[in-house]
Chains A and B, each alone.
Chain A
Amino acid sequence: EAGVTQSPTHLNKTRGQQATLRCSPISGHTSVYWYQQALGLGLQFLLWYDEGEERNRGNFPPRFSGRQFPNYSSELNVNALELEDSALYLCASSLGDRRYNEQFFGPGTRLTVL
Chain B
Amino acid sequence: GESVGLHLPTLSVQEGDNSIINCAYSNSASDYFIWYKQESGKGPQFIIDIRSNMDKRQGQRVTVLLNKTVKHLSLQIAATQPGDSAVYFCAENRNYGQNFVFGPGTRLSVLP
Residues of A near any B CB (own CB < 8 A): 4, 31, 33, 35, 41-45, 48, 50, 55-56, 58, 90, 92, 94, 96, 99-108
Choice from B34, B99, B104 contacting A102 with Cβ under 8 Å: B34
Q: Which of A100, A102, A106 contacts B46 (CB 8 A)?
A: A102
* Residues B43 and A107 in contact, CB atoms below 8 Å apart: yes
Interface residues of B (CB under 8 A from A): 32, 34, 36, 41-46, 49, 51, 89, 91, 93, 96-105
Contact A31 B97 (CB under 8 A): yes
Chain B residues lying within 8 Å of A41, measured Cβ to Cβ, are 104
Chain A residues closer than 8 Å to B45, beta-carbon distance: 105
Most buried by A among B45, B49, B97, B104: B97
Contact partners of A43 in chain B: CB under 8 A = 44, 89, 91, 100, 102
Q: Do the beta carbons of A100 and B43 come within 8 Å of each other?
A: no
Least Cβ–Cβ distance between A18 and chain B, in angstroms: 24
Between-chain CB contacts (< 8 Å), 10 pairs: A42-B89, A42-B102, A42-B103, A43-B100, A92-B43, A99-B96, A102-B46, A103-B46, A106-B43, A108-B42
Contact A48:B43 (CB < 8 A) given known A100-B32, A100-B51: no
Q: Is the CB of A102 within 8 A of B101?
A: no
Cβ B96 vs Cβ A45 within 8 A: no
CB-defined contacts of B44 to chain A, threshold 8 Å: 43, 90, 105
Residues of A within 8 A of B36 (CB): 105
Q: Is the CB of A45 within 8 A of B43?
A: no
Set of chain A residues within 8 Å of B105, measured between Cβ atoms: 42
